[in-house]
């Protein structure tokens, strides 16, 4: 019987893409921002990133071992979650806070809901919001000693940088901020969000590798920009356009739009759904940042929109090829 | 050059360079030929010879079983040895006529037509029917049925499908390079049936020499045009091709004729030419033997009834022990567990792989990456459909248009979690269709 050939249902070839490769691509894409964060904020930032990744991977391993499930840490999705948690931490935070975050993200948000692909909310952001509530003081203390080598000389606008006020807090009052510093990233904030240029390099890499679709981030940023611009003009801020660009470059919106909102599991699979999802994100972020009392809003906007995904997917279900006409003609026939 | 296409689709490795420059060579069959009675969609043919009869090449050995059916002809001269069940490419046992080849290749006398104009439309259809011409792209729909729509005057396009989007296959390409005049002549025969139709020869842009060859030969033909379509799988799927070339849409409950189109494969058109103009029945076809397991991938002219076993040697034999043999191309073909299978009118290729990619893959969790959704030419959500299929949720499966699936396999091909999406959806469709039949 050994002479028989293998049989299976067609197709008999597969593309090389795997979950592991996709996750690796995202991790690579986050490297510019991570490296910049370490240079900008110093050795402690590196420690935070490593601790978060390790604890996330370990949590998944231990859970799956205890539950006698197949070990899936090699798909790198836990490592990515850990890295994102680390990048969302203030630079001088106690090392055990991100560890709590990682355990919460992997154990509560991911594994208890059924593991990879089943969580309804982005684990890293869920953990961040959990930590923001639990450790609000530590989580919003952005004071930093400064990194290994200051990539750019500190600019005037960040004179009270040591006190830890973020660029967003300035913008909240409608005052201006140094756009160059925002773009390069020599400002206060969580480890991974400060450098727009580093994040954009990663985003372009993901777009080129066809790992992410442009729809969610572009619609998200676009909706947000339009709303902010209108608000700024209505409130009579100096130059609404410059203000809008500054809002886009400050805070976590770049990190959120390109790396967190595009998370496959917690975003719609349909193209129209992606557009709606992006628009909802833009609207919510605008509401939280410009209308609400908080300066930040990306994390909350994303986890809130994550919960809307099943609904969005339901309403944007594509009509199968060739079916549309039939329905329409039936309707037309019913009318006449 | 305008490239026409459809939405969705994937880009598998083409593998055409292995055999695309190999001219068609003829293969002489062995001692025993097996003629399956069901080489087409519809009722099986009914044998019209008896055991012990001597038959000639081109002689009818089985009559069409009903209107939607096609006769079968012997491809060699010899004696009828037996009627028995033999294995077909799908792995089922099917009724067959076994003929012993006497090696003489003595032919019956064909009845060529004087000219196309001298034949009436009924005569053309009848000649196609008598010659047992069926769709040779793989489906095997009897061509005389396809060419007899209810309102022939409302047919706008006759599409000759030369896209050959299936990886590794090069037989249609060789036909276009070696016998383009037969294709044009065949298309003219079909156009004669439809007074208001235009003939389009559709070729993927990875075959520029075939395109220019066809273009130069059809330059003076008013009713025939060459259309360049994008190289993408499944460009040659009937509904995709119609959409790419004419912009019209066909769904699962329609026939192409409902959208004013008829699509015929390259080799089918050649068979139509031979049937109508030369009076020759369909007894041979072109066949690609390719893949990394054979020494010398080739395009062969093969007589219907030849065993797949006899096609390995003309391709130089195996390099090593192959793990997987596929009747057809790797995207839509059938995996064979043994080569003791006869060539039928619809078998176009044997793809031999040293390694089976699929069996090594381990299925992991769906991450909702939407690659299957974006690749689906039928605009379905394969990730959801496969889950419904796993749960046997017929209602949801139908609500998400599961029956519109064209079974092209693009979803499985692209899935990073290596889910057998196409397989799950296929089996669910089979179950639903079988249940519907039962109810009737």
Model pLDDT for residues A3-62, shown as the tens digit of each residue? 788 888 889 999 989 999 999 999 999 999 999 999 888 889 999 999 999 999 999 999
Stretch B359-377: mean pLDDT, rounded?
A: 92
pLDDT tens string A193-221: 989 999 999 999 999 999 999 999 999 99
Can you point out the beta strands (E) in B70-171? 72-73, 78-87, 93-101, 157-162
Q: Over 90: is that where the pLDDT of B25 sits? A: yes
Which chain B positions have a beta carbon within 8 Å of A22's beta carbon? Answer: 367, 369, 416
Question: Which tokens is B303 given?
Answer: 């007589």
What pLDDT is stored for residue B439 in this prediction?
Answer: 83
* Longest distance between any two alpha carbons in chain B, whole Å: 64
What pLDDT is stored for residue B1 in this prediction?
Answer: 55
pLDDT category at A186 given cuts 50, 70, 90 is confident
Q: Are A243 and A225 in contact (CB under 8 A)?
A: no
Task: List the 160-179 stretch of B: residues with Cβ below 8 A of A.
Answer: 167
Q: Over 50: is that where the pLDDT of A83 sits? A: yes
Q: Over 50: is that where the pLDDT of A155 sits? A: no
Q: What percent of chain A has pLDDT over 90?
A: 63
What pLDDT is stored for residue A162 in this prediction?
Answer: 43
CA B181, distance to chain mean position in Å, is 21
Q: What is the DSSP letter of A106?
A: I
What pLDDT is stored for residue A154 in this prediction?
Answer: 46
Give yes or no for B434 touching A (CB within 8 A).
no
Q: Over 70: is that where the pLDDT of B249 sits? A: yes
- Bond before A300 cis per omega within 30 degrees: no
Q: What is the DSSP letter of A193?
A: T
Q: Quote the CA–CA distance of A185 and B71 in Å, as a whole number.
A: 77
What pLDDT is stored for residue A151 in this prediction?
Answer: 47
Stretch B37-46: mean pLDDT, rounded?
A: 92
Q: Over 70: is that where the pLDDT of A182 sits? A: yes
What pLDDT is stored for residue B349 in this prediction?
Answer: 93
What pLDDT is stored for residue A153 in this prediction?
Answer: 43
Closest CA to B247 of B231, B260, B234: B260
Query: DSSP 3-state helix, strand, coil percentages of chain B (rounded to 5)?
Result: 30, 20, 45
| pTM exceeding the 0.90 threshold for the entire prediction | no
Question: Which tokens is B93 given?
Answer: 């046992």
Shortest CB distance from B365 goes to which of A14, A116, A321?
A116
Stretch B94-99: mean pLDDT, rounded?
A: 94
Q: What percent of chain B has pLDDT over 70?
A: 100
pLDDT tens string B150-160: 889 999 999 99
- The least confident of A164-168, B259-263, B338-342, B433-437 is A164-168
Give B133→chain A minimum CA distance, Å.
26
| Long-range pairs of B140-143 with CB within 8 A, sequence gap ≥ 24 | B140/B39, B140/B40, B140/B41, B140/B344, B140/B345, B140/B346, B141/B40, B141/B41, B141/B42, B142/B40, B142/B41, B142/B42, B142/B64, B142/B68, B142/B69, B142/B70, B143/B70, B143/B264, B143/B268, B143/B271, B143/B272
Q: Quote the CA–CA distance of B335 and A18 in Å, as a whole number.
A: 24
Q: What percent of chain A has pLDDT over 70?
A: 88
What pLDDT is stored for residue A163 in this prediction?
Answer: 44
Give yes or no for B59 touching A (CB within 8 A).
no
Question: Which tokens is B88 given?
Answer: 């077909």
What value does the mean pLDDT of chain A take? 87
Give yes or no for B127 touching A (CB within 8 A).
no
What value does the mean pLDDT of chain B take? 93
What pLDDT is stored for residue A174 in this prediction?
Answer: 66
Q: Quote the CA–CA distance of B119 and B115 in Å, as a whole number.
A: 7
Distances in Å between the alpha carbon of A83 and those of A39, A42, A261, B369?
16, 17, 15, 20
What pLDDT is stored for residue A7 in this prediction?
Answer: 86
Complex prediction ipTM: 0.86
What pLDDT is stored for residue A105 in this prediction?
Answer: 97
Distances in Å between the alpha carbon of B101 and those of B79, B96, B256, B347?
7, 15, 40, 21
Which chain A positions have a beta carbon within 8 Å of B371's beta carbon? Answer: 17
Which chain A positions have a beta carbon within 8 Å of B381's beta carbon? Answer: 269-270, 317-318
pLDDT category at B180 given cuts 50, 70, 90 is very high
pLDDT tens string B371-405: 999 999 999 999 999 999 999 999 999 999 999 99
What pLDDT is stored for residue A323 in this prediction?
Answer: 80
B357 DSSP β-pair partners: none
B294 DSSP β-pair partners: B318
Shortest CB distance from B323 goes to which of A5, A15, A21?
A5
Which chain B positions have a beta carbon within 8 Å of A317's beta carbon? Answer: 381, 400
The residues spanned by each domain of chain B are 16-20+111-278, 371-439
What pLDDT is stored for residue A330 in this prediction?
Answer: 53
Q: Quote the CA–CA distance of B136 and B266 in Å, as a whole number.
A: 8
Give B312→chain A minimum CA distance, Å.
15
What pLDDT is stored for residue A1 in this prediction?
Answer: 39
Q: Over 70: is that where the pLDDT of A77 sits? A: yes
Mutate to test the interface with B, among A211, A321, A327 (most CBs of B within 10 A): A321
- Residue A69's φ and ψ, nearest 5 degrees, are -100, 160
B326 DSSP β-pair partners: B335, B351
What pLDDT is stored for residue B438 in this prediction?
Answer: 87
- Residue B271's φ and ψ, nearest 5 degrees, are -65, -35
Which chain B positions have a beta carbon within 8 Å of A18's beta carbon? Answer: 416-418
Give yes or no for A1 touching B (CB within 8 A).
no
Angle between the N-to-C axes of helices A77-87 and A19-29, in degrees from 0 to 180, rounded to the nearest 10: 20
Closest CA to A266 of A152, A154, A136, A116: A116
Q: Are strands B78-87 and B93-101 parallel, antiparallel or unpaired?
A: antiparallel
Question: Which tokens is B245 given?
Answer: 């070339």
Can you point out the beta strands (E) in B1-156? 25-26, 32-36, 46-47, 54-55, 60-63, 72-73, 78-87, 93-101
Which chain B positions have a beta carbon within 8 Å of A213's beta carbon? Answer: 370
Task: Tell which CATH architecture fits domain B16-20+111-278.
Answer: 3-Layer(aba) Sandwich (3.40)
**Hey, are the CB atoms on A264 and B368 less than 8 Å from each other?**
yes
Q: What is the DSSP letter of B256?
A: G
Q: Are strands B298-303 and B284-290 parallel, antiparallel or unpaired?
A: antiparallel
pLDDT tens string B213-231: 999 999 999 999 999 999 9
What pLDDT is stored for residue A2 in this prediction?
Answer: 52
Which chain B positions have a beta carbon within 8 Å of A323's beta carbon? Answer: 251, 401, 404
Q: Quote the CA–CA distance of A40 and A54 in Å, as a whole number.
A: 22
Give yes or no for B368 touching A (CB within 8 A).
yes
Q: Quote the CA–CA distance of A56 and A52 in Å, as a whole number.
A: 6
Q: Quote the CA–CA distance of A118 and B258 in Å, as a whole number.
A: 43
């Amino acid at each position: 019987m050994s002479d028989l050939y293998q049989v299976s249902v067609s197709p008999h070839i597969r593309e090389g893409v795997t979950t592991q490769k996709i996750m690796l691509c995202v991790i690579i894409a986050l490297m510019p921002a991570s490296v910049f964060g370490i240079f900008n904020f110093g050795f402690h930032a590196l420690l935070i990133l490593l601790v978060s990744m390790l604890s996330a991977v370990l949590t998944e391993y231990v859970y799956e071992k205890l539950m006698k499930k197949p070990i899936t840490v090699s798909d790198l999705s836990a490592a990515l979650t850990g890295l994102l948690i680390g990048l969302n931490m203030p630079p001088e935070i106690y090392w055990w806070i991100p560890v709590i975050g990682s355990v919460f993200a992997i154990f509560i948000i991911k594994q208890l809901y059924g593991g990879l692909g089943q969580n309804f909310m982005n684990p890293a952001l869920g953990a961040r919001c959990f930590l923001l509530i639990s450790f609000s003081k530590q989580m919003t203390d952005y004071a930093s000693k400064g990194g290994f080598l200051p990539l750019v000389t500190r600019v005037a606008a960040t004179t009270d940088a040591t006190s830890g006020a973020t660029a967003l807090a300035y913008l909240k009052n409608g005052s201006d901020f140094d756009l160059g510093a925002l773009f390069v990233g020599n400002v206060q904030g969580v480890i991974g969000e400060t450098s727009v240029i580093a994040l954009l390099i990663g985003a372009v890499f993901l777009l080129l590798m066809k790992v992410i679709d442009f729809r969610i981030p572009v619609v998200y940023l676009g909706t947000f920009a339009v709303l902010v611009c209108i608000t700024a003009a209505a409130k009579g801020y100096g130059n609404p356009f410059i203000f809008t660009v500054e809002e886009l470059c400050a805070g976590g919106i770049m990190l959120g739009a390109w790396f967190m909102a595009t998370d496959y599991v917690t975003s719609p699979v349909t193209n129209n759904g992606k557009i709606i999802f992006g628009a909802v994100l833009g609207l919510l972020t605008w509401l939280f940042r410009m209308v609400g009392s908080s300066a930040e809003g990306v994390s909350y906007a994303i986890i809130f929109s994550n919960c809307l995904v099943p609904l969005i997917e339901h309403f944007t279900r594509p009509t199968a090829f060739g079916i549309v006409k039939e329905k329409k003609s039936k309707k037309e026939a019913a009318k006449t | 050059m305008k490239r026409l296409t459809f939405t969705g689709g994937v880009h598998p490795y083409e593998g055409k360079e292995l055999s695309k420059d190999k001219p068609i060579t003829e293969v002489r069959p062995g001692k025993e030929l097996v003629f399956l009675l069901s080489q087409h969609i519809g009722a099986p043919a009914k044998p019209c010879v008896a055991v012990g009869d001597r038959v000639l090449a081109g002689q009818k050995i089985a009559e069409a079983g009903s209107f939607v059916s096609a006769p079968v002809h012997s491809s060699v001269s010899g004696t009828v040895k037996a009627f028995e069940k033999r294995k077909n490419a799908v792995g089922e046992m099917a009724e067959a006529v076994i003929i012993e080849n006497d090696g003489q290749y003595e032919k019956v006398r064909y009845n060529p037509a004087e000219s196309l104009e001298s034949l009436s439309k009924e005569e053309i259809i009848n000649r196609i029917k008598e010659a047992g011409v069926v769709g040779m792209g793989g489906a095997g729909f009897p061509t005389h049925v396809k060419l007899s729509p209810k309102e022939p005057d409302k047919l706008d396009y006759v599409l000759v499908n030369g896209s050959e989007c299936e990886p590794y296959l090069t037989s249609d390409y060789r036909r276009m390079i070696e016998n383009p005049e037969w294709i044009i002549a065949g298309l003219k025969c079909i156009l004669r049936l439809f007074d208001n139709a235009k003939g389009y020869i559709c070729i993927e842009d990875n075959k520029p020499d075939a395109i220019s060859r066809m273009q130069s030969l059809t330059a003076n033909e008013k009713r025939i045009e060459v259309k360049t379509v994008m190289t993408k799988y499944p460009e040659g799927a009937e509904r995709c091709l119609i959409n790419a070339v004419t912009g019209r849409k066909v769904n699962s409950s329609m026939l192409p004729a409902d959208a004013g189109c008829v699509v015929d494969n390259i080799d089918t058109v050649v068979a139509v030419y031979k049937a109508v103009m030369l009076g020759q029945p369909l007894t041979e076809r072109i066949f690609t033997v390719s893949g990394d397991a054979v020494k010398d991938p080739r395009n062969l002219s093969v007589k219907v009834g030849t065993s797949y076993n006899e096609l390995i040697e003309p391709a130089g034999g195996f390099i090593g022990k192959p793990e997987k043999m596929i009747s057809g191309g790797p995207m839509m073909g059938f995996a064979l567990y043994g080569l003791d299978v006869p060539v039928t009118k619809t078998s176009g290729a044997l793809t031999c792989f040293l390694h089976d990619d699929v069996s090594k893959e381990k299925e992991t969790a769906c991450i909702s990456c939407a690659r299957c959704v974006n690749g689906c030419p039928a605009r379905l959500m394969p990730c959801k459909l496969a889950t419904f299929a796993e749960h046997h949720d017929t209602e949801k499966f139908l609500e998400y248009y599961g029956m519109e699936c064209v079974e092209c396999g693009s979803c499985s091909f692209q899935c990073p979690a290596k889910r057998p999406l196409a397989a799950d959806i296929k089996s669910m469709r089979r179950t639903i269709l079988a249940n519907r039949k039962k109810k009737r």
